[in-house]
Structure formats: structure tokens, C-alpha cells
Amino acid sequence: MITIDDITIKIRLLNRSWLLAQATVIFSDIIETKGWKILRSTKKHTRFQEELWIQAPSFQKAIKNGKGIWDEIIWVNDRGLYDQIEEKIYDAFCAKRIKENGEEGIAQAMKDEEIEIPDNLEDINPDDIPL
């Protein structure tokens, strides 16, 4: 059984207003899953109390009524482990952000920067993504 101690996270910060970072989640130094995203949100995350959300790798499988229908490529059946992975991604993201920007720079950047979502992207509500 895989535990959170078997999982390693790599973060790549991005300079985009809506996409804050990408993460690679490595299971037991054997399987690497790329494409995890840390995105800006208009709502505060329930656990992290920051306006962002974490999305597992996914693809658009269809369009219905003008909106994209998305499916996750990576699915973690154990909800507790998924929450721990999400927390580990968030912790790694915060550590990388502090290392590159310093704590004051982060607070100012998050405060000053408005959310600008390009017109060609679908509006994705984090509540619509099954977990």
C-alpha cells in the first residue's frame, strides 16, 4: 500500500496569472505523474484558505451546452491519501514560492495581481470536478 511517505513532489512555478504552478507527483520513485496544476480561484480553498485550487491531470472529453466536460487521468481511490497528496503539493508550492519570491513578495503578488483568465479557456468550477 502506498502512503504519503512514498510520494515525492516537484514544483515548477509559472509566470501566468491563472496558472500558478505545475507539479509532478512521484509514487515510490517508480511512477511519475505530470500535469498536476495549481490554479488561481475566485474562492478560497477550504483547507488552505488561499484563492487557489489543485487539479489532478485531466483531459477534455466532450463539450456539452458550450461547456467542457473533463475527466481526470490520475485517480486516487483513497480520499484520505488524495487529501494528503493535495496538501503535500500545496506545501511544496509554498516552499518553492517562498524560496523564489520571499514571503513579502508572495503576499504582495497575490494581493496585487488580478485574476485574468483568457477568453479561450472554459470556465471550470472546482466544485464540478469529481474527487
pLDDT, mean of residues 78-90 = 95
Cβ neighbours, 10 Å, residue 5: 8
Q: Report pTM.
A: 0.74
Residue 29: closest CA among 8, 54, 2: 8
What are the grid coordinates assigned to 71, written together?
A: 475527466
pLDDT at 35 over 90: yes
pLDDT, mean of residues 3-9 = 95
Residue partners of 126: CB distance under 8 A and separation at least 6: 41, 43, 53, 55
pLDDT of 83 reads 95
Is residue 34 within 8 Å of 57, Cβ to Cβ? yes
pLDDT per residue over 97-113, tens digit each? Answer: 888 877 665 555 555 55
Break the chain into its structural domains and give their ranges: 4-112
